[in-house]
Amino acid sequence: MNRNLFYLFLVILASCTEREKSSPNVFFAGEIVNPTSKKVFLSKDDKVLDSVRLDENSRFSFNLPSIEEGLYHFNHGNEYQYIYLGKGDSIQIRLNTMDFDESLVFSGKGSEINNFLLDFFLANEEEELLILSTYFQMNPLEFDKKIEELRTEKLALLSQLQSEAELSKGEQEIAEVIINYTYYNYKEKFPFEHRKRTGEKLISEMPNNFYAYRKDVNFDNENLTYLTPYYNFAKSHLKNLSYIGCEKKCGIENEEVISQLHFNRHKLSLIDSLIREKDLKDNLFRNVAMEYLLRGGDTEENNEIFINDFHLRSQNNKHLGEINELYEGIRNMQPQKKIPNLLVKDFDGNNISLQEIAKDKKVAFYFWSGNSKRYFKDVVKRVSELSKTNKDYLFVGINYKTDDITWRGMVSNSKLDKSSQYKADDFKELTKTLIFNKRNKCIITDDATIVDGFTTMWAANF
């Protein structure tokens, strides 16, 4: 399954249908080849339900006496995977972390729907390449025809499975929803992707029936809130509606959003009027806030207008703490502010703050981790280029998520100057205080005062 599907919002669908089987117990077990951690977690929605340790043979098992039928997910290390569990199921898996999705196999009672969904996601990964490279360039009618072919083909496979394996009502529904919303999402994206690829004007008037499915879209079903294909569809749909709405009534000129502030507030108001279900609404509001704030390009005044609007519309948002923290963090990273006083460790093991490092000089901070040797090579090369053309700057490397020996070894084997290399031990603190949201981030300071807190090593203007 596409791991990218799982970045923020994971899975679900609790179904209320009952499947009569001999025992209500659910048994879920398996073997992990090349384990990357000691545990396996089982979750539903955004909550972890249970976890078990791997035994000495890298095997695990969950015994779940009172679990509702529905879609769950399990994870091991950084890998996530959906699993549908119904009463009386006894499911075994085997997977190799070296090749997670492709190696996974379900067997035992209840495995049919799981293998079906897995096959669907793998097939969709392939199809997506074709859609991105070819279909999005087609005209709307051709595109619609292709997407409908793919969708009906998958529904036909599902009904074939239904006749062979007697799926429960819940299994049938979840599979249908996943198939339908996966393809509807492509349709919502079509106008933008088509323009990007062909350079043609955005098609704001689609042929009749192109969006026919919209009349059946239901944003009130709480069982779907954490289902990734559905959530992705909701995001694309809202983007589409706000863009078209803005184009007709407000600030789009030459097909460019003139004001990100306006466009994102327009989106908030649309979510407010269209979505009733509390969690879905909270999650979508959060998504708009994160995207807008993390662009990092808007002024402090505009950020404030946005956050005030956000508070007005979503005062009980379950992500409020996180959003407020992000807003504060971004405020502290604006030009003219002192760089946050994060503590890092120098090559001799002494603690030193970023303000001390940046005092009385011009500094460009860049970041790297021992996890990616290739990126490290790129960034070292880039530092050496930039140092030649910007001799008045000190280029300071901040390492994260790397053990001491690896860090020292990598620095020593490179051409980097040890005296400008530091290590942040608390990655969470680093991401929070410096709004570290992309690895090529670069922060430019002059006498510890921020000049640009949101540029990259490749975009920076010195």
Which positions lie near Zn ion, rule CB under 5 A? 246, 250, 266
Considering the complex, what minimum distance in angstroms separates the CB of residue 250 from Zn ion? 3
Q: Report how far Cα 426 is from the mean position of its chain's Cα atoms.
A: 22
Partners of residue 52 on adjacent β-strands: 40
DSSP 8-state secondary structure symbol assigned to residue 338: B
Q: Report how far Cα 18 is from the mean position of its chain's Cα atoms.
A: 33
Q: What is the CA radius of gyration of the chain?
A: 25
Considering the complex, what minimum distance in angstroms separates the CB of residue 193 from Zn ion? 21
* Cβ atoms 295, 326 nearer than 8 A: no
CB of 202 or CB of 343, closer to Zn ion = 202
CB of 140 or CB of 251, closer to Zn ion = 251
Considering the complex, what minimum distance in angstroms separates the CB of residue 239 from Zn ion? 12
The two beta strands, 252-253 and 351-353, are unpaired
Length of the chain in terms of residues written: 462
Partners of residue 90 on adjacent β-strands: 27, 109
CB of 154 or CB of 265, closer to Zn ion = 265
Rounded Cα distance between 223 and 17, Å, is 12
Considering the complex, what minimum distance in angstroms separates the CB of residue 253 from Zn ion? 12
Considering the complex, what minimum distance in angstroms separates the CB of residue 251 from Zn ion? 6
- Both tokens of 418, joined, read 């040890």
Considering the complex, what minimum distance in angstroms separates the CB of residue 266 from Zn ion? 4
Considering the complex, what minimum distance in angstroms separates the CB of residue 93 from Zn ion? 48
The amino acid at 372:
S
* Cβ atoms 288, 271 nearer than 8 A: yes
Considering the complex, what minimum distance in angstroms separates the CB of residue 248 from Zn ion? 9
- Both tokens of 356, joined, read 């001390």
- Both tokens of 39, joined, read 């545990």
Strands (E), 10-143: 13-14, 26-33, 39-44, 47-53, 59-64, 70-76, 79-85, 90-96, 105-109
CB of 114 or CB of 242, closer to Zn ion = 242
Rounded Cα distance between 294 and 436, Å, is 10
Rounded Cα distance between 179 and 123, Å, is 11
Closest C-alpha among 299, 282, 244, 233 to residue 266: 244
CB of 14 or CB of 250, closer to Zn ion = 250
CB of 52 or CB of 246, closer to Zn ion = 246
Question: Which residue has 């709004």 as its token pair?
Answer: 435
Rounded Cα distance between 253 and 250, Å, is 9
CB of 72 or CB of 243, closer to Zn ion = 243
Considering the complex, what minimum distance in angstroms separates the CB of residue 236 from Zn ion? 18
CB of 217 or CB of 250, closer to Zn ion = 250
Considering the complex, what minimum distance in angstroms separates the CB of residue 461 from Zn ion? 31
DSSP 8-state secondary structure symbol assigned to residue 65: S
CB of 175 or CB of 270, closer to Zn ion = 270
CB of 14 or CB of 274, closer to Zn ion = 274
